[in-house]
Amino acid sequence: MHAIELTPEHPVATLASFAQRAETNGLDAVFASHHYNNRDQFMALAAMAERTDDVLLGPGIANPYETHPVTLASRVATLDEMSDGRAVFGVGPGDESTLANLGFDHDDALRRVLETVTTARTLWDGERVDHDGTFEAVDAGLNYEVGDVPVYVGAQGPHMTRMAAKHADGALYNGAHPKDLAWAREQVEEMADERPDEYGAFDLAAYASVSVAEDEGAARAAARPPVAFVAAGSPPPVLDRHGIDREAASDIGDAISAGEFSDAFERVTEPMLDAFCIAGTPETVAERTAALEEHADSVVFASPLGPDIETAIDLLGAAIDRRSR
């Protein structure tokens, strides 16, 4: 699978146009990211469903803190109905820096995500749910039939990655560097014997921040905002793997939480750009993507895509076409 992530910082109609362009360029799926300060991801995905015919569509990711997991399961099921069976459920703990603005923390993140996955599958199977864990549900059920919806867990740390490998259809692994995907592959392989056979093959998808343009400088400049969020949310082992100062990453997170986005973006260093984004010319992006695919089964080209999104989608589509020949 080759996919893109679209960030609802743009009007919904524009996002739907981008999704249509992605389908025209041969991409397999489109994910919509979520932060409370952007437009609603499910409204955006609904508009994308109306403008496309074949691409898979899903949140990348939805978090089960702001929205009750039962409600999340219903929203994804509704998207699946609207898109004639093209929904994918991307679920994860979410961005800690922005969730803090709403009074949420990441306590029991792994357990909450796992319980969300289990609850969604139970509801989609037509069963009712009684649950008393990180959230409560009492005799909850859906009043309509749901098809088979793949579940992808947003992961980066060891525990979430291993949980995904055991319980989900795939992982949207937050990584743009071969070192990270090689490490993630090791975690997946360690869980192979514990994965139930009925779940089938596991899809390790590199959820890689990408910025592509003919002008390398412009591509790298456009990469600063998403890299700031990735650096701020990366666990210490990931920062250490790339030799990135933990305090520097923490300072970026503090700036994001305070709404000082310009300051946060300025604090992004060149090593952070190299570690957390594939940024450069189409040739650079093609080379770095090939390196990721030595370890990953799929690649999701995530925000910002490039300084000009329409052009970036065309460039990414052309790169995929060349690699498939």
Instruction: List pLDDT tens digits, range 27-79.
Output: 999 999 998 889 999 999 999 999 999 999 999 999 998 999 999 999 999 99
In a domain, 214, yes or no: no
Q: Can you give the CATH number for the domain in which 34 is found?
A: 3.20.20.30
Q: What is the pLDDT of residue 37?
A: 85
Q: Under DSSP, is residue 40 helix (H, G, I), strand (E, B) or coil?
A: coil
Q: What is the mean predicted confidence (pLDDT) over 157-178? A: 94
In whole angstroms, what is the distance from residue 82 CA to residue 268 CA? 40
In a domain, 218, yes or no: no
Nearest to 210 by CA among 317, 313, 312, 305: 305
Tokens of 92: 């994860």
Q: What is the mean predicted confidence (pLDDT) over 8-13? A: 96
Q: Above 90 in pLDDT, residue 219?
A: yes
Q: Same domain, yes or no, for 191 and 257?
A: no
Q: Same domain, yes or no, for 74 and 10?
A: yes
Q: How confident is the model at residue 257 (pLDDT cuts 50, 70, 90)?
A: confident
In a domain, 219, yes or no: no
In a domain, 317, yes or no: yes
Q: Same domain, yes or no, for 139 and 23?
A: yes
Q: What is the pLDDT of residue 150?
A: 97
Q: Above 70 in pLDDT, residue 209?
A: yes
Q: Same domain, yes or no, for 44 and 86?
A: yes
Q: What is the mean predicted confidence (pLDDT) over 9-18? A: 97
Q: Above 60 in pLDDT, residue 188?
A: yes
Range of the domain at 171: 2-209+279-324
Q: What is the pLDDT of residue 198?
A: 84
Q: Above 90 in pLDDT, residue 205?
A: yes
Tokens of 112: 């909450």
Q: Above 80 in pLDDT, residue 104?
A: no
Q: What is the pLDDT of residue 274?
A: 93
Q: Same domain, yes or no, for 268 and 150?
A: no
Which region among 78-82, 255-259, 301-305 has the lowest average model confidence (pLDDT)? Answer: 255-259
Q: Identify the DSSP state of 152.
A: E
In a domain, 301, yes or no: yes
Q: What is the pLDDT of residue 142?
A: 97
Q: Same domain, yes or no, for 129 and 248?
A: no
Q: Same domain, yes or no, for 65 and 142?
A: yes
Q: What is the pLDDT of residue 233?
A: 82
The number of domains in the chain is 2
Q: Same domain, yes or no, for 243 and 121?
A: no
Are 187 and 158 in contact by the 8 Å Cβ rule? The answer is: yes
In a domain, 215, yes or no: no
Q: How confident is the model at residue 319 (pLDDT cuts 50, 70, 90)?
A: confident
> Residue written as tokens 């037509």?
126
In whole angstroms, what is the distance from residue 266 CA to residue 299 CA? 28
Q: What is the pLDDT of residue 324?
A: 55
Q: Same domain, yes or no, for 88 and 151?
A: yes
Q: What is the pLDDT of residue 323?
A: 56
Q: What is the mean predicted confidence (pLDDT) over 92-99? A: 74
In whole angstroms, what is the distance from residue 58 CA to residue 44 CA? 10
pTM of the entire predicted model: 0.90
Q: Same domain, yes or no, for 163 and 248?
A: no
In a domain, 217, yes or no: no
Q: How confident is the model at residue 97 (pLDDT cuts 50, 70, 90)?
A: low
**Identity of the amino acid at 159:** H
Percent of the chain residues past pLDDT 90, beyond the cut: 82
- Omega before residue 307 within 30° of 0, cis: no
Are 70 and 137 in contact by the 8 Å Cβ rule? The answer is: yes
Q: What is the mean predicted confidence (pLDDT) over 153-175? A: 94
Q: How confident is the model at residue 107 (pLDDT cuts 50, 70, 90)?
A: confident
User: pLDDT tens across 287-318, in order?
Assistant: 999 999 999 999 999 999 999 999 999 999 98
In a domain, 216, yes or no: no
**Identity of the amino acid at 255:** A
Q: What is the pLDDT of residue 203?
A: 97
Nearest to 271 by CA among 243, 310, 236, 241: 243
Q: What is the pLDDT of residue 208?
A: 95
**Identity of the amino acid at 157:** G
Q: Above 80 in pLDDT, residue 213?
A: yes
Q: Under DSSP, is residue 118 helix (H, G, I), strand (E, B) or coil?
A: helix
Q: How confident is the model at residue 322 (pLDDT cuts 50, 70, 90)?
A: low
Q: Same domain, yes or no, for 251 and 295?
A: no
Q: Same domain, yes or no, for 233 and 168?
A: no
